[in-house]
Structure formats: C-alpha cells, structure tokens
Amino acid sequence: MDPQGARLTLTMRLACPIFMLLLAACGAESSPSSSDSSTPNGSKDPGSQKPDPGSSATSPSTVAPGAIDPSCGTNGYFDVNGSLNGLERESAGTVLLTMSNTIQRIDEAGKMAKVAAYGSTGLVLGGDGKYYGISPASAGVAATVLRYAADFSVDSSFAFDKYKWPTTGITAIAVTADGHVYVAGTFAQNTGDDHIAVRRFDATGKLDATFAPADDAMPKDMRPRSLLLANDGGILVGTDKGFTPGILRLTTAGAFDDAFGTAGYRALTELGPRDLRKVLLDDQGRILVLGMENDVVQIVRLGTDGASDGSFGKGGVAELNLDELPLSADYDESVEARDMFLDASGRIVVAAEYQYGKDFLKPETQTLRVVRFDGSGKLDASFGDKGIAKIDFGAGTKSQLLDRGAAARLGDHRLLLGGTKQVGTTSTYAIACVEMKSRVAGPRRPVMRLKNKIALVTGASRGIGHASSIALAKEGATIVGVARKKADLEKLEKDVAAAGAKCKTFTCDVTKYADVAAAVKGAIDAFGRIDILVNNAGIGGYRPFLDWTEEDYDRIMDTNAKSTWAFCKEVVPHMLKQGGGNIVNLSSVAGLQGYPSEGIYCMSKFAQVALSQSLDREFYQKNIKVSLVCPGGVETHFAIGDGRTYDGANMKGFSTAEDIAEAVVLAVLPRDRTRVVNVILRPMNEMT
C-alpha cells in the first residue's frame, strides 16, 4: 500500500478504534478474496462475481520492477503518429499526451484514445484542476497563457493580460487551487542584464497588483527553469546562470524570503550540479533538484528552509555515475538526465539517456536508463538491476527521450517514457510502459467489487466528490455526478471514462429541492435504481461569530444540511423499493466538536451527524446502510472556504481527497452481516 493508503488505515485505527474492532469481530473487512457480491435484497449479482483465476487466455506472468509491462499498449509500447511534445499525469492517474495534431489519453488499462482533434505544445495541470498552456511568442506577438475547457478547447473566460507581462517570453507557469496563475520569464533592463520576471494573474487573467516583486533587485543574468508553489503558499523559482543553478523563493506578496537565502536566493554551487534539469517538491514539501555534473547524475535535497538535507545522500546530494564501460581513447560514453518524478511510494525516479560510440554526434548505441532512489538517496535495489533499469523503444532501436515532459506515472504502478526511436535512418515518436512494482501481469479481469452498482455523488466535480467518483468507478460502479458547473461535470465524465466506467451528470443547485428531485428522477430514468448515495456537496465557512449574517447562515445550512436531507428524502423510497442500498454522508470532525470561528459550519455538520444517526436507526433493518465519514483537514479548495486565504488555511500535511475517497469505498463495499456506521479520519499532524 502506498503512503497515502497507509496513512488512511493508520488514522482510521487511531481515530475510530470501535469501527475497526467491529469489522474485525465480524470478519467483514472486505478484500478481493472475502468480499460478498450480494445485492441489497440478498440475491446474487452476476456482474460482481469473483473472477475465475483460470479464465485468462494465457497464464499470468510476473513483471519485475524496471521491466517493460507487456499488458500495456502493444507488448509494452505505443507508436505515436505525429510529433510528441510531452506527457502530463492527470489527477485520476491517467496520462495525457500532447502532440502536434491531437491530444491523446492513456488510461490505467494501458489503452490510448484521442480526446481532442487539435494539438498543443504542452499542458500544465493547475491546482484548480484545469489545464493551462503557454502560447510561445512569434513575430510581433507576445507569448500568452491559455486556459482550456474540459474538451481542451480554449476557455474564453480566461483572458491573459499579456500587455501587463513585462517581456515577450514565458518560461514556466504554476496555478493555485483558486485559479491564480504565477508566470515566470526573463526580461532585459537598459544595462543589458537579463532579469527574472515573476507576476501573478487572477482567475480571469488580469494582473494581480498586490503581488509586487522588486524587479531591479532580482538576480541578474539568470534564466528561470521551473516554477513551483510551496505547501505554505511561497513561490519557488528554479534558476540557471551558466553553470550556477539555484532556487529563488518569494513570499505571497512578491517579497524576497530572506529566511530562505540572501535576498531569497539559495545558490547550489557548493553542492555540485552545474546543469539544472528539473525541480520538484516531495510529499513533505522538501525541494528536489535534478542536475548534471559532466556525466554524473546529481539530485540535491533541500529542506523547506533552503538548508541542505544532510540525511539525504552525501551532505544532501545523491550522485550516480552511469559509465558502464572501461575508459577508451577511441570510444566515448555520455549520459543525459531528462526528467524526475516521485513514484506512488514517494521514491525518486530519474529518466536518462545513455549513448556510446566513436563519434559523439553519431553514437553506435543509444538507450535509456530509469533509476530509482530510496528516501535516503541510495539506489533502490528492488528496482531493475540494483536500482537501474535499461530500457529502449524496441529491440535494435536507438532511443532518445523528450527534452521536457519525458516521463509520467500511470496509475500507481507504471511509468510512461516518451521520446523517439530510430531504426536505420528513420525516426518516429514512441512511448514505453515500464512496471514500477512487482506484480502478476497478463490477460486478467480486475476485481470489480461494485460492478453493476449505480452511485449518485453530489458535489462530484472536484475535491472529495471527484476523488470518490473516480474511486467508485475503479471498483466498477456507474457514476451519476451532480454539481453546479457544466464544464466541471464534462471533465468528470472524461475522468470517469478514463477510469473504465460509465458516467451521467446533472447540473444542480443542491439548495433547491426541485433541482434535487429532478436530478434523482434523471438518475432513475436513466438506470432504474440508485444503489449508493454519497452526500458530499458542501461549503466551508471560517469567520468570527459576530461577522456572520442571516444570508450566510441560510447559504451554509442549505448547502450542507438541507441538501443532505433532500437527497436522502428523494433516494430512500427507491432504496426501499429495490431492497436496500448504501448512503454515505460526508460530515466533518467539526460535526463532532465545535471550533472557534466556525459556528455556522459546525452547526451544519452536527446536523448531518444527527440525520445520519437517525436514518441508520430507522432504516438499517430495511437493509439501508447509512455511513458517516468525518474527515479532519483535507487538502482541497474546500479548506479555504469562506473567510480564509490559502496561507490561513495552512494545508501543509493535510489528508488528500483520495485518502477520504478510500473511506467512502470502504463504507459501501458489499457485506452481509456488517454495516459501517462512522469513520473518522485525521491527518497525522492533527490532534484529536
């Protein structure tokens, strides 16, 4: 299990021991080998039977970490028709391919499908769940930032104010959960020195004048290579000055963060790397820098304060020399690190090229290397050959990686590598699929514990609702998604389809009973039943008690409490008619105890708890199982809510939406003798 799953299980055991003991005593904790596939009325559902181990056309085989996965694509490879520009991992675990003429998606089943009939030079998935791209400068036209709709057409509601951007070129962008766009590039002053330029634009594309960096004091003669948002809201710029890489940190107001380094700048010269390739953050907010020193791959790890992390590698630097042959006067080896990412367990993975030959420009051998490091900066011996996997795009090919976006994680156990393969004098684009975990592969049917179930999820377009929809879809459920914005629902439909399930959506104002009734009727008309109801729609509110108004009270209570009652009121009659079902109400730890400056929000969450307890006692003998899920802090836009800023929410270390989605799935898995009544989840850094 990956770290997020481990944290979820551990937190549930600590925070809800009675719940865990109940499951253990009844022997009912569901697993592929023990889950029951009965429908609510006790009859067997033929679509959710356990898979027959002997049903595969061929015998399954074990795919070792670092090997090509033959069940992905065609024997582990994809041939790409067109120019491949980059790979981008999506929130659902799928991967987008940006190409010159189309945008393609590879799903977790290893299948590729076209999602847009026009190309892109590259996409960035913003913290708001939307895609952004850079339209480079051309003759007489400045560079601009574009936002894309769910169908990848240009979103006209975002108009980047390029005339307020101080230069023609844009190097990198980063987007916050509330849609603010940070942009980095370079511009020249009268002195001729290149300066780093960083600006912030709001969710409509207008310049945010409250973010005011001091351009004259910016590091000179440097180029920004990457742009990241720290967990505390700070802005990190990976820079490159000749052979002197470094990290510049700005505050949310645009000031230099002097606590990070002199004038906010942390040079990496003394640590070794001379050529910066990529910067990213690990799950603890530490900074990872991928660089090269001649042919030596180097990874630097810094703390959140910019100090070298002495527990990593040697003095904060992990090094790897990939030279494999004896030094020769006639032959030469070279290595180029191209990309770096974190696998599902938080281990560092580097994708690199290796070439060998007499002529550096015409090498005889060109292959790829995938290297995995453990948390201390040592090679992970469980991967490949002592931590290094040798990969190519097919036997006898010369393989090269893309300069940018060359690697992306597919699901939780695969790696996709993108680049070119050369056979003779012909070069084409290709993708290789590499296994990251030891597992059994080959033709087999996944265990679909919720196959043929219909799940209605409110607030389904983002956050916990979106994550729960995807998690339920992966278990085989058909999703009925309810939310306010059509564009967000269109994206949900694509994400659910990528997870291998069907999805129908309805726009709905959950505070209006007529809208609720119409959405439920639409689901029944379409599918004839509702087996699972997840009441997730809600809004947060965080202000001093005396600052709230009657309008605020009505808005929060109607969205959080009234909507839960309304959907239950409309769905329960159908569940009674069909012989049972599952209801999951998303409340909060704020529904179990009061918190200052959250009075109305706590009232609404206490109301959900009371309603859930009442429904459970009234309907459990009718085979309607009502479960209450109460999370602590969750890293979503909801945590900001009404009355807090990103900084004020202090989301560092919060649980993820996917953590909570696991609890939702756990609550609705088929069980004959047990119902899940209450699940409490808290981040590991949050007191009970």
Return contacts of 265-270, CB within 8 angstroms, 24+ apart: 265/219, 265/239, 266/302, 266/306, 268/244, 268/300, 269/244
User: How many Å apart are CA 597 and CA 590, to the nearest integer?
Assistant: 11
Output the 3-class SS for 346-378.
CCEEEEEEEEEECECCECCEEEEEEEEECCCCC
Are 561 and 487 a contacting pair, CB within 8 Å? no
Query: Which is nearest to 530 in space by CA: 602, 587, 581, 584?
Result: 581
**What residues have CB less than 8 Å from 473, skipping those under 6 apart?**
479, 496, 499, 500, 501, 503
> Helix or strand or coil: residue 662?
helix
Sort strands 95-99 and 103-106 into parallel, antiparallel or unpaired.
antiparallel
61 CB burial (10 A radius; 0-12, 13-18, 19+): exposed
> How far is 362 from 368, CA to CA, in rounded Å?
16
Q: Return the active site residues.
A: 601
Q: Which residue has the tokens 């009441």?
A: 535
6: CB partners within 8 A, 6+ apart: none
CA distance 31 to 499: 20
DSSP state, residue 596: T
What is d(CA 348, CA 346) in angstroms, rounded to the nearest whole number? 7
Question: 10 Å Cβ neighbour count for 387?
Answer: 19
Name the residue type at position 378: K
Q: How far apart are alpha carbons 516 and 592 in whole angstroms? A: 27
3-state helix, strand, coil in the chain (%, to 5): 25, 35, 45
Count other Cβ atoms within 10 Å, centred on residue 234: 18
Q: What is the DSSP string of 394-417?
A: STT-EEEE-SSS-EEEETTTEEEE
Task: List strands edge to edge, sheet with 124-125.
Answer: 124-125, 131-135, 144-148
Dihedral over alpha carbons 335, 337, 342, 347 (to 10 degrees): 30
Where b means 16+ CB within 10 Å and e means fewer, 390-408 reads ebbbeeebbbbbbeebbbb
Buried b (16+ CB within 10 A) or exposed e, 178-212: ebbbbbbbbeeeeeeebbbbbbbbbbebebbeebe
Contact between 561 and 608 (Cβ < 8 Å): yes
652 CB-contact burial (10 Å; exposed 0-12 / middle 13-18 / buried 19+): middle
Distance CA 21, CA 613 (A): 19
